[in-house]
Copies of this chain bind each other. A is one copy, B any other.
Amino acid sequence: MTDDLILANDNKIIFLVLDGLGDIPDPAHSFMTPLEAAKKPNMDRLAVEKGVLGRTIPVGVGITPGSGPGHLSLFGYDPVRYEIGRGILEVLGLNMDLQPSDVAARGNFCTVKDGIVTDRRAGRIETSIGEQLCERLSKAIPSVDGVKVFLKPGVSHRFGVVFRGEGLSDELEDADPHKDRKPLALAAPKSPGAEKTAAVVNRFMKKAMEVLRDEPVANAVLLRGFSKNPDIPLFPEKYRMDSLAITTYPMYRGIAKVLGMKVEKEPADYKEMVSILREHYDRYQFFFLHVKETDVAGEDGNFKEKTRAIEFVDTIVPDIYALKPKVLVVAGDHSTPCPLKGHSWHPVPLLIVADTGERDGLPFHEKNCLKGSTGTIYAKELMTLALAYGLKLDKYGA
C-alpha cells in the first residue's frame, strides 16, 4: 500500500543504522545494556525533546537474522520474500561491475594438500599478496569456454568473482567444503539448467590450481554464495527518493547498490561519513548511514567497546542533525547482545526524531523503547512509519 501513497517532496530522511545495536541486561554490568550505559547526551537530548521510541522485530518473533534480511526489512522489503546472495553483496561491495545475467561469488584463497583443504583461509595472507594472486589469475584465465571471468581482491584471502556469459545459472552448491581438513569441493548444479555453469566454474577452479601450484600457502581457491542480481524493486523508485548510502564496510554498500541507492564516496571513518553527508545533502532525500563497530563489539562480547562505539557515534549526531532532516531514525538491523556474542532474535531499540511525533520524552535505550509510542513493530513496517513522520505519504482512501 505504501508505494501507492508516496508524495515526492524534498523532505529529508536519515537512517543511522547501528549494526547489532540491541542488547540484553548484562549481569556483569549491573544488568545494564551498552545503550543504557553509554553516555550519549546528544542522542538522548533529541530523544527527550522530539523522540518517539519503539522496537523492531527484524524477521519474526524468535528469529535471528543475518545482515542481509536485517537490512532488507529496515528498508521496507519483506525479508522472507526477497533474498540477496552473498556473492552479489561481495562483488558490489568491491565496486565490481555487475550485469543482470552475471553470476557472482565470494572467493577465498586456500591451502590444499593432496586434495585436502588444510586451511580455508590460506593462513589469512596479507592483502597485498591476495592482490598479486588475483592479478596473476586474471591474466592467466581471462575466460573459460567463452565465459568471461572477472576477479577483484578483497581484504586478506578474500576476493570477488564475476562470471559473464550467456545462459549462466546461479543454482550451484558452494564449491567450498566449509570446514578445514575436508576434501576440496567442486560446484555441483542444484538443477539441470545449471550444469553448464558448474562445468565452467569447476574448470576455472582447476585452472586456478595450476596457476597457483607453486605458491607456498595460497595454492587453490574456494567459491561460495553463487548468486545473480535479485529481481527486487529499486528503493529510489519505490519511495520516490534519491537515496545515498554512506558505509565504511563493503557488504553494506553491496546491499545499498542492489537496492539502487547511490554511493558517492567510501568514507574512511565516521567523521568523513558526516562530511560526505553534508557535501551531498541537497541532492538526495534519503540517506543510509551504516555503523559496523557496535556489531563487532557485540560479537566479541565486549560490553565496554560496544558502549564506547555508541558514545562515539553520539559525537557525530549533532553534525548530522544540524542539517535539519525532517526525520532522523536511529535503528539496528538486529540485536547482537554481548552476553550471547552473536546476532540474536531480541527486538531492536528504535528512535525516531521528528517534529511530527508523539515526543515520548524518554532517553534512548531498550527499557524505555519498550514503553515508546511506536510499540513493537516488524522492521519491514519502519519505512512506512519514517515516510509518515516525514510527511511523504498521502491519505489512504477518501
- Determine which of B62, B370, B394 lies in contact with A2 in the assembled complex, contact meaning CB atoms within 8 Å: B62
- Determine which of B340, B358, B384, B387 lies in contact with A24 in the assembled complex, contact meaning CB atoms within 8 Å: B358
Interface check A5, CB cutoff 8 A? yes
Stoichiometry (number of copies): 2
The stretch from A11-19, A176-184, A210-218, A373-381 touching chain B is A373-381
Q: How far is the CA of A376 from the CA of B64 in the complex (A)?
A: 19
- Determine which of B80, B347, B386 lies in contact with A1 in the assembled complex, contact meaning CB atoms within 8 Å: B80
Q: How far is the CA of A86 from the CA of B397 in the complex (A)?
A: 9
> Chain B's nearest CB lies how many Å from the CB of A223?
15
Size of interface on A: residues with Cβ below 8 Å to B: 56
Chain B residues near A394 (CB-CB < 8 A) = 64
Q: Mark A324-360, 1 if CB is under 8 A from B, else 0.
A: 0000000000000001100111110000000011110
The CB with the most chain B CB atoms within 10 A, among A357, A370, A373, is that of A373
- Determine which of B64, B366, B375, B393 lies in contact with A395 in the assembled complex, contact meaning CB atoms within 8 Å: B64
Contact check, A398 vs B62: say whether CB atoms are below 8 A apart.
Answer: no
Q: How far is the CA of A351 from the CA of B311 in the complex (A)?
A: 34
The stretch from A66-74, A133-141, A143-151, A292-300 touching chain B is A66-74
Contact check, A396 vs B64: say whether CB atoms are below 8 A apart.
Answer: yes
Q: How far is the CA of A89 from the CA of B397 in the complex (A)?
A: 13
Q: How far is the CA of A381 from the CA of B57 in the complex (A)?
A: 13
Chain B residues near A343 (CB-CB < 8 A) = 395
Q: How far is the CA of A384 from the CA of B57 in the complex (A)?
A: 13
- Determine which of B65, B69, B371, B393 lies in contact with A345 in the assembled complex, contact meaning CB atoms within 8 Å: B393
Contact check, B357 vs A24: say whether CB atoms are below 8 A apart.
Answer: yes
**Given A64-B394, A339-B356, 14 additional A-B pairs, CB 8 A:** A1-B60, A1-B80, A24-B357, A24-B358, A25-B358, A59-B397, A62-B384, A63-B388, A65-B395, A67-B397, A67-B398, A68-B397, A79-B397, A89-B398
